[in-house]
Amino acid sequence: MSTNSFHDYMDLNSRTNMRQFSDDEEFTTPPKLSNFGSALLSHSEKTSAPETLSSHKTNKMTNHVLEEMDRSSSRSHPPSSMGNLTSGHTSTSSHSTLFGRYLRNNHQTSMTTMNTNDIEINVGNSLDKSFERIRNLRQNMKEDMTSKYAERRSKRFLISNRTTKLGPAKRATTLTNVFDEEVPNSSNLPINPRETIETLLEDSNKSGFRESKKNMDYESIEFGDLNPIQYIKKHNLPTSDLPLISQIYFDKQREENRQAALRKHSSRELLYKNRSSSTSLSSNNLLPSKDNSITFINSSLPRRKISTGSSSSKSSIEIRRALKENIDTSNNSSFNSPIHNIHKEISRNKDSDSEKRGVLRNISINANHADNILQQDNKRLKRSLDDVITNENENKKIQEVFYHRPAPKPPVTKKVEIVEPAKSASSSNNRSMITVNDSQYEKIELLGRGGSSRVYKVKGSGNKIYALKRVSFDAFDDSSVDGFKGEIELLEKLKDQRRVIQLLDYEMGDGLLYLIMECGDHDLSQILNQRSNMPLDFNFVRFYTKEMLLCIKVVHDAGIVHSDLKPANFVLVKGILKIIDFGIANAVPEHTVNIYRETQIGTPNYMAPEALVAMNYTQSSDNQHEGNKWKVGRPSDMWSCGCIIYQMIYGKPPYGSFQGQNRLLAIMNPDVKIPFPEYTSNNEKIPKSAIELMKACLYRNPDKRWTVDKVLSSTFLQPFMISGSIMEDLIKNAVRYGSEKPQISHDDLNDVVETVLRKFSDYKI
């Protein structure tokens, strides 16, 4: 375009109705050059078909321009530039137009609907000049339109580019190109400016365009921040080169986008590897190197170094190769992630570009999600790395941390030693172990205690259980020593008696006596206490009374007076009641009823009156020869036995209601009678046979007391079972006896009773 024609155009343009063509005011770059073309383009875009360039509106607009030119020519001389334009009419300028060809070929193009016949008629002689101006005008219009169109497309494309940079479509496009060795013009591109422009100019300067492309070296263009339009304007290039420059511009942009995608992809691969390495830091796959890059070390793979810095300096082919290698490497690893699976899929289908693109579209979609995960993981990894690096002072130590970090040492546990104090064998043994005649016994529990003794349940050899009685006494008290020796002798004497507790071993030292006996389970005192709140059961009373008498019989039959019979001195050993504690027992000389003791008597509750009376008698006696002696014999044991039976039936011993000294006095006082109620406090009927038995044992006169054998044969302990027939026989015999002997003496009655009882005894169960 010449300067004159440009000015003419500007003049013309300034004279035209700008409001009519200012629809596209926003496209003001370059502001004046593009206004007219933009107006045409804007007009044409308002219609849908490409033929709008030959539409009626364009025709009217052209006519309007011609009319304007007519007015201009009629009111003044044509400018000098018109001559130039006219002279250019026949030239073969590169700016030749379709309109020119139309004039030469008498042929109307599709560019305009201008009717040249009308122009000839109306313009007359100035036709040539007008045609020249028109040609120039058309040329300008075409160039301007082309420029404007390219600019708009460029802007649209730039806007689209900026938008798609943020979206998956952009990623898909760029990644598609990444894997194409020959990067073709993607058919997916919505706009191909070059094709569009070439279509518009196919009949005009297509050949010139290609010539320009051939002749000009635009490959080295550096656009900087300029777009093609700005670049053309800045460097004063012809607008006809705009398509070519735009093409170069877009190619460069594509290449930059591709490289950006590659950088992103490479960093993503790096992140995956970092993560997989971070999960196995102990396997020492990561090593920070001096140049702040990260080197992957894998025993099965050669050492590969991937810089974390910009990779823009690498060629796309190198990047692609590196990327593929990374993908292959990832396939070998056991790492399993969405992107990894996609890589696998890529590898399987790498022979098919179309499939690649399909897969890569999925990459771009999945990559968004994976990207977020990776970014989080990368941040975490980076934080952990920073922590490690901060905590360690030297790279050497860092290497140890990542490469050869040894397993953490087990925490040093402070060994707490429990030092037991040195113990003497005697103290330990004395507390838990007791040795009797070289045999050791381990204490288990305390069974009971007496005035000077303790009885333990112990475990001996073979884990057998025994009762160990430990008695402490005054070794210089002869009476005490004799008393304990007497107990041992009696137990030795009664050794094979089942109703006497068995003495298994004993050892007597200075002031200590150890007795090893068979062990009982419970004593009768414990049993009675257990049943204190239970209803009275005479079968229970009979059973334990008989058991007790059997024990006493054995002792009495052995000529021994126990002298201290009480419930606590009868123990149950495996269901058999046995008698214990012969501490104050004495052997009764043959044919002797009572013995006199000088030492402590038994428990007052169960003491016979004769023993207390004897004591009282002795104390009040003037005969000092008698001394402090108590008169005791077998009947004293039967008194004690009567007191135990009384306790089993009434709940307490006969003088249990008295306390302390009064109890002793009551026992000794013959005026204090023992009560034998027929009912218990719980209103339970007491058999007469039981009352009879108790009375027989608690006679104050020891001579009247029943012996152990008599008590054992008492009615209470030996009840009758009388049947109806026996009762019938008894009544018949009584009636016949009475009819024969109406008066009967007392002696005759006793004989009859004895006879009947003797017969009943034949029916005892």
For the CB of residue 658, give the shortest distance to ligand ATP in the complex, in Å.
20
Per rule CB under 6 A, is residue 583 in the interface with ligand ATP?
A: yes
What does the alpha-carbon distance between residue 187 and residue 167 come to, in Å, rounded to a whole number? 19
Q: Which of residues 477-506 bind ligand ATP (CB under 6 A)?
A: 501
What lies within 8 Å, CB to CB, of 176 at 6+ separation is 186, 188, 356, 357, 360
For the CB of residue 451, give the shortest distance to ligand ATP in the complex, in Å.
4
Q: Which of 183, 147, 156 is nearest to 32 (CA)?
A: 147
Per rule CB under 6 A, is residue 448 in the interface with ligand ATP?
A: yes
Contact stretch for ligand ATP (CB under 6 A) within 85-93, 388-396, 451-459, 711-719: 451-459
Q: Which residues are annotated as a binding site?
A: 469
Per rule CB under 6 A, is residue 451 in the interface with ligand ATP?
A: yes
What does the alpha-carbon distance between residue 136 and residue 119 come to, in Å, rounded to a whole number? 16
For the CB of residue 581, give the shortest distance to ligand ATP in the complex, in Å.
4
Name the residue nearer to ligand ATP (CB basis): 446 or 734.
Answer: 446
Question: Which string of x and - marks every residue 390-409 that binds ligand ATP (by CB under 6 A)?
Answer: --------------------
Task: Count CB-CB contacts under 10 A for residue 547.
Answer: 19
Per the CB < 8 A criterion, the answer to whether 171 and 261 are in contact is yes
What does the alpha-carbon distance between residue 419 and residue 409 come to, in Å, rounded to a whole number? 28
The structure tokens listed for 613 are: 């009376």
Contact stretch for ligand ATP (CB under 6 A) within 70-78, 450-458, 492-500, 555-563: 450-458
For the CB of residue 487, give the shortest distance to ligand ATP in the complex, in Å.
9
Q: Which residues are annotated as a binding site for ATP?
A: 469
For the CB of residue 570, give the shortest distance to ligand ATP in the complex, in Å.
9
Name the residue nearer to ligand ATP (CB basis): 24 or 523.
Answer: 523
For the CB of residue 471, give the shortest distance to ligand ATP in the complex, in Å.
7
Per the CB < 8 A criterion, the answer to whether 62 and 112 are in contact is yes
Phi/psi of residue 279, nearest 5 degrees? -75, -15
Strand order in the sheet with 433-436: 433-436, 439-449, 453-459, 465-472, 512-517, 503-508
Catalytic residue, candidates 24, 564, 581, 637: 564
Q: How far is CA 296 from the centre of its chain?
A: 36
What does the alpha-carbon distance between residue 25 and residue 722 come to, in Å, rounded to a whole number? 143
Contact stretch for ligand ATP (CB under 6 A) within 384-392, 421-429, 452-460, 744-752: 452-460
For the CB of residue 630, give the shortest distance to ligand ATP in the complex, in Å.
16
- In the numeric block, the tokens 């875009």 are attached to 45
With CB under 6 A as the contact rule, the residue among 307, 453, 689, 715 that binds ligand ATP is 453
The structure tokens listed for 691 are: 């009352």
Per rule CB under 6 A, is residue 201 in the interface with ligand ATP?
A: no
What does the alpha-carbon distance between residue 629 and residue 615 come to, in Å, rounded to a whole number? 6
Name the residue nearer to ligand ATP (CB basis): 271 or 585.
Answer: 585
Name the residue nearer to ligand ATP (CB basis): 520 or 653.
Answer: 520
Contact stretch for ligand ATP (CB under 6 A) within 73-81, 140-148, 564-572, 679-687: 564-572
Contact stretch for ligand ATP (CB under 6 A) within 79-87, 382-390, 475-483, 567-575: 567-575
Strand partners for 579 = 500, 570
For the CB of residue 488, give the shortest distance to ligand ATP in the complex, in Å.
13
Name the residue nearer to ligand ATP (CB basis): 443 or 710.
Answer: 443
What does the alpha-carbon distance between residue 241 and residue 220 come to, in Å, rounded to a whole number? 15
Per rule CB under 6 A, is residue 580 in the interface with ligand ATP?
A: yes
Name the residue nearer to ligand ATP (CB basis): 572 or 730.
Answer: 572
Q: Which of residues 501-530 bind ligand ATP (CB under 6 A)?
A: 501, 517, 519-520, 523
Q: How far is CA 742 from the centre of its chain?
A: 104
For the CB of residue 469, give the shortest distance to ligand ATP in the complex, in Å.
6
With CB under 6 A as the contact rule, the residue among 83, 309, 450, 670 that binds ligand ATP is 450
Which of 594-598's residues contact partners 24+ apart within 8 Å by CB, and which partners?
A: 594/631, 594/632, 594/633, 594/636, 594/702, 595/561, 595/631, 595/632, 595/633, 596/626, 596/629, 596/630, 596/631, 596/632, 597/563, 597/629, 597/630, 597/632, 598/479, 598/627, 598/628, 598/629
Q: Count residues near ligand ATP (CB under 6 A).
A: 21
Per rule CB under 6 A, is residue 548 in the interface with ligand ATP?
A: no
With CB under 6 A as the contact rule, the residue among 287, 528, 568, 587 that binds ligand ATP is 568
Q: Which of residues 357-376 bind ligand ATP (CB under 6 A)?
A: none
446-469: b or e for each residue (b if 16 or more CB lie within 10 Å)?
Answer: ebbeeeebebbbbebeeeeebbbb
Contact stretch for ligand ATP (CB under 6 A) within 203-211, 225-233, 448-456, 659-667: 448-456
With CB under 6 A as the contact rule, the residue among 346, 447, 614, 638 that binds ligand ATP is 447
Name the residue nearer to ligand ATP (CB basis): 309 or 450.
Answer: 450
Per rule CB under 6 A, is residue 549 in the interface with ligand ATP?
A: no
Name the residue nearer to ligand ATP (CB basis): 339 or 500.
Answer: 500
Strands (E) in 450-597, as ranges, are 453-459, 465-472, 503-508, 512-517, 522-523, 560-561, 570-573, 576-579, 586-587, 594-597
Contact stretch for ligand ATP (CB under 6 A) within 106-114, 267-275, 370-378, 562-570: 562-570
Name the residue nearer to ligand ATP (CB basis): 568 or 726.
Answer: 568
Per the CB < 8 A criterion, the answer to whether 601 and 584 are in contact is yes
Per the CB < 8 A criterion, the answer to whether 579 and 524 are in contact is no
Nearest residue to ligand ATP by CB is 450
Strands (E) in 381-438, as ranges, are 433-436
Amino acid at 715: T
Name the residue nearer to ligand ATP (CB basis): 511 or 719.
Answer: 511
Contact stretch for ligand ATP (CB under 6 A) within 40-48, 154-162, 351-359, 445-453: 445-453
Name the residue nearer to ligand ATP (CB basis): 152 or 578.
Answer: 578
Per the CB < 8 A criterion, the answer to whether 663 and 604 are in contact is yes
* HEC readout, 702-731: CCCCCCHHHHHCCCCCCCCCCCHHHHHHHH
Q: Which of 150, 131, 324, 358 is nearest to 250 (CA)?
A: 150
Strand pairing of 503-508 and 512-517?
Answer: antiparallel
For the CB of residue 625, give the shortest distance to ligand ATP in the complex, in Å.
29
Q: How far is CA 28 from the centre of its chain?
A: 70
Is 478 catalytic? The answer is: no
For the CB of residue 467, give the shortest distance to ligand ATP in the complex, in Å.
3
Name the residue nearer to ligand ATP (CB basis): 88 or 448.
Answer: 448
With CB under 6 A as the contact rule, the residue among 467, 549, 614, 615 that binds ligand ATP is 467
Q: Which of 610, 582, 579, 611 is nearest to 598 (CA)?
A: 611
Per rule CB under 6 A, is residue 561 in the interface with ligand ATP?
A: no
Per rule CB under 6 A, is residue 143 in the interface with ligand ATP?
A: no
For the CB of residue 545, give the shortest distance to ligand ATP in the complex, in Å.
19
Q: Active-site residue numbers?
A: 564
Residues binding ligand ATP (CB under 6 A): 447-448, 450-453, 455, 467, 469, 501, 517, 519-520, 523, 564, 568-569, 571, 580-581, 583
